[in-house]
Amino acid sequence: MKGFLQILGFLNILGGLITGIATEGWISFIIWVSAGIIGSSIFFGIAKIIDNQEVIIEKLNNTLGVKTQGGKLYAYKKCTKCNNKIEESYTSCPKCANREFE
Ligand SMILES: [Zn+2]
């Protein structure tokens, strides 16, 4: 997703540049290139946000016991016996039936 957005950003700049050259005229060239850069900044911005979000999720995963599954965020607890990661709502470990969690 991030790579795809970056490619779209580059294509947007390239498209603006090509259109600017094709229109023949300094003012329209500047307008098209500016439009390309402005438009691509949106794609690069979203790519940056996704990048930051992945870092935040990774940090949450290491400190607060949060994991992502199918793009959704889940809280989990860790079994003290087998270190199995279990959904917050479970009262005992499905692997070893232990009832104590970290
Ligand atoms: Zn267990």
How is 34-96 classified by DSSP, letter by letter? Answer: HHHHHHHHHHHHHHHHHHHHHHHHHHHHHHT-EEEETTEEEEEEEBTTT--EEETT-SS-TTT
Ligand 1 center–CA 89 separation, angstroms: 15
- First-to-last CA distance in the chain? 34
pTM of the model: 0.59
The residue-averaged pLDDT of 29-52 equals 94
Q: What is the CA(56)–ligand 1 centre distance, in A?
A: 27
| Position 74 pLDDT exceeds 90 | no
Mean pLDDT over 8-31 rounds to 92
Of residues 65 and 38, more confidence is placed in 38
Q: What is the mean pLDDT of residues 40-54?
A: 93
At 11 the pLDDT is 94
Q: Kindly give the distance from the C-alpha atom of residue 15 to the centroid of ligand 1, in angstroms, as a whole number.
A: 56
Average predicted confidence (pLDDT) for the chain: 87
| Separation of CA 16 and ligand 1 centre (Å) | 58
